[in-house]
Structure 1
Amino acid sequence: MIKVDNLSFSFPQKELYTNISFTLEEAQHCAFIGTSGNGKSTLIDILMDPERYLFEGRLEIDPTYKIEHVSQFSQLDATKETTVFEYIGEEFIKIQNEITSICTEMETSSDIDSLLEKYQVALDALDSIGGDDFESKIIKKLNLANLMKLRDLRVSDLSSGEFKLIQVMKGMLSSPDLLIMDEPDVFLDFENLNALKNLINSHKGTLLVVTHNRYLLNHCFNKIIHLENKEIQEFDGRFIDYNFSLLQTKIELQELAIADDEEVERNENIINNLREIATNNADASRGRALKARVKFQERLEARRIKTPFVEIKQPNIRFDMDKEMEDSIVVNVNHYSVAFDELLLDNVNFEIKSTDKVAIIGSNGTGKTTLLRDIFNNNHDSIEINADAKVGYLSQVQGEVLRDSNTILEEFIDAGFKTYDEIRSHVSSYGFEGEIVNQKIGSLSGGEKNVLQLAKVSASKANVLLLDEPTSHLDTYTQIALEKAIEDYKGAILMISHDFYSVVNGMDYVLIIDDKTIRKMSMRKFRQMIYANHFDRDYLETEKNKKSVEMKIEMALKNTDFELAKVLIDELEELIKLL
């Protein structure tokens, strides 16, 4: 359907791609992955409107192909009184109204031929989007996503997660040749995420989806396009199989790299010996031998293993503290209530101790963010913060914490850093190196902004962390680095998250919103609840065993024990078959 051949593109301050090539074929469900800020959204923009961009290479798209786009940051006009049904069926309704109007005009007009021609064009347009039974198609999609209850609601009354799903349905029902979706999963709660999974898996057309969500990646796609370090790699198959392939390749490449290093070192010793002899001996043959060896060394250096998709640099996320707290209550919420147009939370009571790691779980629009913000602001009668608590805050509304008009350097000067060298040293651990520190924050990707927030939280050296959707927009490698930082942190964490993996891998227990209040749930019960709804019975145990074997492989590679790594990779392959 679409062929990209040797495409290169750069901005004045940054080169994005160098001779990348890939294809999208009919009916493929393709996940588009890669670390934050490396140009995934820009590549989508090029596919959508190639005439607007100056790129090198070839882009082959049939001009008759219809491409729909579900944007990462779509906003609804809140002044419109459109219902959900009318919003999804907008294109169908428009054509149907046009047909009705033409038929009405035919009753009184003498120019029947012209009207018949317009009538046929309208019918063809309706047919091209499968419009004969559009009402039943909309109902089918709403039922699939378990959102039939929203049919007659105004779109302006929806939560952000519900609106995202409605956008996805609208894009699918317009019958495009290719539907591109840029992070459609961001901020979706567990139920809506499962609805998105159902919508993706039921779609018969071609999909290109930018996502970092491990749940979707493991359950929705049959092709992976991976953009990394200005290069691209295609893989036909599941994400879980792609990761396994990368791990196999990593073992092979590390074994080869060690052999190459030994050969380079041996040749370097020969060159040094020849240089010493040539210094004391003017024999021309010695000089020629030295030159030959130097050229051979250059060839060895040039052929060293290059691993843009295997050795991906993770940010070094750390949450240190100025002062650890004794075992005590750091946050006490007592009879807390909050309402906007309606009551969201009522009579909420809980406490967080100094080393507790707790996730707040609940559907979109149930007041989680408002509660976390009230705790951070500490200006609510029902909330008490320990006097020794130093609180760090990451907001899902990035503009609350970051100023788009600031450069990265200016942002950290505002945060209390004294010198630019101090800032550069700190942010380099988070992947912000070189000239990017002089860029305006507004020009960064959503993932880069969240990593920058994590760098600010880290710099605060807080002993209580309030994290609102910290994994949103983060690539999978940064998500794993964040999980490790949370695991190592010695203070208290209260985290809103819809990322199943982050919750089960890092939290001690969850606070779950139920009937406008909050109750405590053990991690064991939470896992049972989620797995009962979304996974096969033995999935949890198999996933746990898989992670354990992967960690053993990483340890074997650190110890350069390649024989053990190869034995473990066979064990891992058997576990993956069960998933």
Structure 2
Amino acid sequence: MITVDNLSFSFPQKDLYNNISFTLEEGQHCAFIGTSGSGKSTLIDILMDPERYLYDGKLEIDPEYRIGYVSQFLQDDQAKEMTVFEFIAEEFIKIQDEITSIYDEMATTSDMDSLMEKVQLALDAFESMDGDNFENNINKQLNLANLMKLKDLNISSLSGGEFKLIQVMKEMLHRPDLMIMDEPDVFLDFENLNALKKLINSHKGMLLVVTHNRYLLNHCFNKIIHLEDTEIQEFDGRYIDYNFLLLQTKVELQEIAVAEEEEIKRNENIVINLREIATNDSEASRGRALKARVRFTERLEARRIKAPFVDIKQPNIHFDVDHEPEDIPVVHVNNYSVAFDELLLDNVSFEMKATDKVAIIGANGTGKTTLLREVFKNNHASIEINADVKVAYLSQVQGEMLKDSNTILDEFIDAGFNTYDEIRSYLSNYGFEGEILNQKIESLSGGEKNMLQLAKVAASKANVLLLDEPTSHLDIYTQIALEKAIAEYKGAILMISHDFYSVVNGMDYVVIIEDKKIRKMGIEEFREMIYESHFNKDYLETEQKKKAVEMKIELALKDTNFELAKGLVNELEEVIKLL
């Protein structure tokens, strides 16, 4: 078991944790969630190397524990000249070679004691990783992820998503006592995301995974650790059950809050009346009654239930346009082809109208980002943009659109804002307030950088948005706010996304890249195709019913109809049991 007990830690400009406690136990697959910038990656760093940090509280980890780690960022290892199999087997081969070398040395030396100790340590390490079966285990993992075709390819030829999966396999096959992964799903296409799901679910050891991916959250974990506003909440169970508990608690708290608000108002009226009486009547008992009522009202205010995990504030993302769009084509792609080492897209054509919301779907490395970037640049002979169109672009390569050496305030002066006060007011809608506005872009988390890109896109008031993986690194609450902004937007959107929920909740249709060609597909057909591949029809219908009941609960809460809301919560509980 790993135990964190009353841990507190701060940076000079920000408190991250205030007496947080949680445990990780053998066999648990734990999702680590929380809003962007809340300190998830820093807490992982503390777990991995506690000696680097000055924190209060206790952190209990067996010093002999081996911790495996997969970063949210691609590693330089991909530049190595080796095959996929050699990369995964690297540590096994290294220990094998070490054992062989020691045995060779034994044949020529009389100092056997030290060599016996060295060879035993190497043999123990090899055995703890099931080294005798490493080739068979690597083949099993590659088959599980449907990546056996990559086994003999050089790792430098892999897409980013394929290499991320290979990194996950490599760490898992080392059999660490604790496996930590920081947003391993970022930029994975849906097939690779499903492969990651299989790898997570087949892993026998303890897992701690930072993720905002709702697909993984709903299908991979049996424990949730939720970090918000310096506090932590633990939940043993599925994410879907945790969400239900939050919604159930929200209904209860809102009912209590309304009742307390009424009680506070009633007492305030009594205090006002007592003050009027005390003004005209100097009798001491009147003054004492007034003081007692004031104290009672203060106690009511003080004991209002604060629930930072129940009703987290979503950013106010809003995409606007300068003028209502006409129903005309805005983007026209005609016989577009692109090749690097090989042909990626071959004479593809499609057209977008002024209010179309379109997702580009395809495997990693099929040319999606190149196509979107070419549309943004608008200097390719096969791409035509309507002359009246204003285009805004969000890049998955955040350095393309944000300058690391800028502060947040400087970045938005460069974007056309006139004063720092104007920027402060605008960015408060996106959760950026206080000292963070003076931080340099390079110091921000991936989610915060993507949020800034969204803020810049929104400020442009463009009528065509080109969004390349806009949900990457974003927390769940921001993803939902983005979906709402997309639904309300009056212009056109061309979006690359591997986030299933963002596509089906916000897009009109998808264009799928397969075999170097593009084909159009409606959202319902796309939804059914995904579920047919990975779930079943009943699951799809049940999930849609769940969403419908949740929307009814939200409406009932808006109307403060708590009896109806509580009845719907019971209905929702029965639906969730079917998932």
User: Same fold, TM exceeding 0.5?
Assistant: yes
Q: Matched residue pairs, number?
A: 579
Aligned letter for 2:503? V
2:418 matched residue in structure 1: 418
1:539 matched residue in structure 2: 539
Aligned letter for 2:129? I
Higher mean alpha-carbon deviation, 191-200 vs 482-491, is at: 482-491
2:57 matched residue in structure 1: 57
Identity, in percent, stands at 79
Separation in structure 1 between the aligned mates of residue 424 and residue 114 of structure 2, nearest angstrom: 69
2:491 matched residue in structure 1: 491
- Please give the per-residue CA displacement for 1:498-541, whole angstroms capped at 9, x wherever unaligned: 01111111111111101112111222322222111111221222
Q: Does 1:548 align with 2:544?
A: no
What is the CA-CA distance between 1:79 and the residue it aligns to?
4.0
2:528 matched residue in structure 1: 528
- Please give the per-residue CA displacement for 1:374-419, whole angstroms capped at 9, x wherever unaligned: 0001010110000111111111011111111111111111001111
2:453 matched residue in structure 1: 453
Q: Is the 8 A contact 2:528 2:537 kept in 1?
A: no
What is the CA-CA distance between 1:286 and the residue it aligns to?
2.6
1:17 matched residue in structure 2: 17
Aligned letter for 1:230? T
Aligned letter for 1:446? G
- SS of the residue aligned with 2:494? strand
- SS of the residue aligned with 1:185? coil
Separation in structure 2 between the aligned mates of residue 246 and residue 463 of structure 1, nearest angstrom: 37
Q: Which structure 1 segments of 5+ residues have no match?
A: none
2:234 matched residue in structure 1: 234
Separation in structure 2 between the aligned mates of residue 288 and residue 62 of structure 1, nearest angstrom: 60
What is the CA-CA distance between 1:267 and the residue it aligns to?
1.6
1:559 matched residue in structure 2: 559
What is the CA-CA distance between 1:111 and the residue it aligns to?
3.1
- SS of the residue aligned with 1:529? helix
- Please give the per-residue CA displacement for 1:399-454, whole angstroms capped at 9, x wherever unaligned: 11111111111111100111112211211111112222111111111111111111
Separation in structure 1 between the aligned mates of residue 115 and residue 9 of structure 2, nearest angstrom: 48
Q: Is the 8 A contact 2:404 2:442 kept in 1?
A: yes
Higher mean alpha-carbon deviation, 147-156 vs 107-116, is at: 107-116
- SS of the residue aligned with 1:409? helix
Separation in structure 2 between the aligned mates of residue 296 and residue 537 of structure 1, nearest angstrom: 56
Q: TM-score, normalised by structure 1?
A: 0.98
What is the CA-CA distance between 1:179 and the residue it aligns to?
0.5
Q: Is the 8 A contact 1:346 1:516 kept in 2?
A: yes
Q: Give matches, 1:39-438, under 5 Å.
A: 39-438=39-438
What is the CA-CA distance between 1:115 and the residue it aligns to?
2.6
Separation in structure 1 between the aligned mates of residue 153 and residue 335 of structure 2, nearest angstrom: 32
Separation in structure 1 between the aligned mates of residue 271 and residue 44 of structure 2, nearest angstrom: 50
Q: TM-score, normalised by structure 2?
A: 0.98
Separation in structure 2 between the aligned mates of residue 314 and residue 485 of structure 1, nearest angstrom: 12
Separation in structure 2 between the aligned mates of residue 114 and residue 78 of structure 1, nearest angstrom: 37
Q: 1:116 to 1:536 in 2, by over 3 A?
A: same
What is the CA-CA distance between 1:157 and the residue it aligns to?
1.3
Higher mean alpha-carbon deviation, 102-111 vs 158-167, is at: 102-111
Higher mean alpha-carbon deviation, 399-408 vs 117-126, is at: 117-126
Separation in structure 2 between the aligned mates of residue 79 and residue 355 of structure 1, nearest angstrom: 43
Aligned letter for 2:231? E
- Please give the per-residue CA displacement for 1:103-162, whole angstroms capped at 9, x wherever unaligned: 222333333343333222211121122212111111111111111111121111111101
- Please give the per-residue CA displacement for 1:39-86, whole angstroms capped at 9, x wherever unaligned: 111111111111111111111111111111111113224542122112
Higher mean alpha-carbon deviation, 538-547 vs 91-100, is at: 538-547
What is the CA-CA distance between 1:305 and the residue it aligns to?
1.4
Higher mean alpha-carbon deviation, 283-292 vs 93-102, is at: 283-292
Q: Is the 8 A contact 1:330 1:385 kept in 2?
A: yes
Aligned letter for 1:46? I
Higher mean alpha-carbon deviation, 189-198 vs 104-113, is at: 104-113
Q: Is the 8 A contact 1:6 1:21 kept in 2?
A: yes
Aligned letter for 1:167? Q
Q: Is the 8 A contact 1:78 1:156 kept in 2?
A: yes
Q: 1:224 to 1:102 in 2, by over 3 A?
A: same
Separation in structure 2 between the aligned mates of residue 113 and residue 475 of structure 1, nearest angstrom: 55
Separation in structure 2 between the aligned mates of residue 551 and residue 16 of structure 1, nearest angstrom: 33
Q: Is the 8 A contact 2:221 2:238 kept in 1?
A: yes
What is the CA-CA distance between 1:491 and the residue it aligns to?
0.8
- SS of the residue aligned with 2:480? helix
CA RMSD of aligned residues (A): 1.2
Higher mean alpha-carbon deviation, 290-299 vs 216-225, is at: 290-299
Aligned letter for 2:463? N
Aligned letter for 2:148? M
Q: Is the 8 A contact 1:76 1:156 kept in 2?
A: no
Separation in structure 2 between the aligned mates of residue 114 and residue 433 of structure 1, nearest angstrom: 60
Q: Is the 8 A contact 1:359 1:497 kept in 2?
A: yes
What is the CA-CA distance between 1:298 and the residue it aligns to?
1.9
What is the CA-CA distance between 1:30 and the residue it aligns to?
0.4
Separation in structure 1 between the aligned mates of residue 477 and residue 227 of structure 2, nearest angstrom: 13
Q: Is the 8 A contact 1:129 1:175 kept in 2?
A: yes
What is the CA-CA distance between 1:246 and the residue it aligns to?
0.5
Separation in structure 2 between the aligned mates of residue 323 and residue 50 of structure 1, nearest angstrom: 55
Separation in structure 2 between the aligned mates of residue 290 and residue 325 of structure 1, nearest angstrom: 62
Q: Is the 8 A contact 1:16 1:38 kept in 2?
A: yes
- SS of the residue aligned with 1:140? helix
1:462 matched residue in structure 2: 462
2:477 matched residue in structure 1: 477
- Please give the per-residue CA displacement for 1:528-571, whole angstroms capped at 9, x wherever unaligned: 22111111221222111111111110010010000111111122
What is the CA-CA distance between 1:17 and the residue it aligns to?
1.3
- SS of the residue aligned with 1:19? strand
Q: Is the 8 A contact 2:325 2:490 kept in 1?
A: no
Q: Which structure 2 segments of 5+ residues have no match?
A: none
- SS of the residue aligned with 1:332? strand
- Please give the per-residue CA displacement for 1:215-236, whole angstroms capped at 9, x wherever unaligned: 0000000001111121111111
Separation in structure 1 between the aligned mates of residue 459 and residue 283 of structure 2, nearest angstrom: 62
Separation in structure 2 between the aligned mates of residue 363 and residue 122 of structure 1, nearest angstrom: 41
Higher mean alpha-carbon deviation, 270-279 vs 375-384, is at: 270-279
Separation in structure 1 between the aligned mates of residue 296 and residue 566 of structure 2, nearest angstrom: 32
- Please give the per-residue CA displacement for 1:148-205, whole angstroms capped at 9, x wherever unaligned: 1111211111111011111111111111111011000000001000000000000000
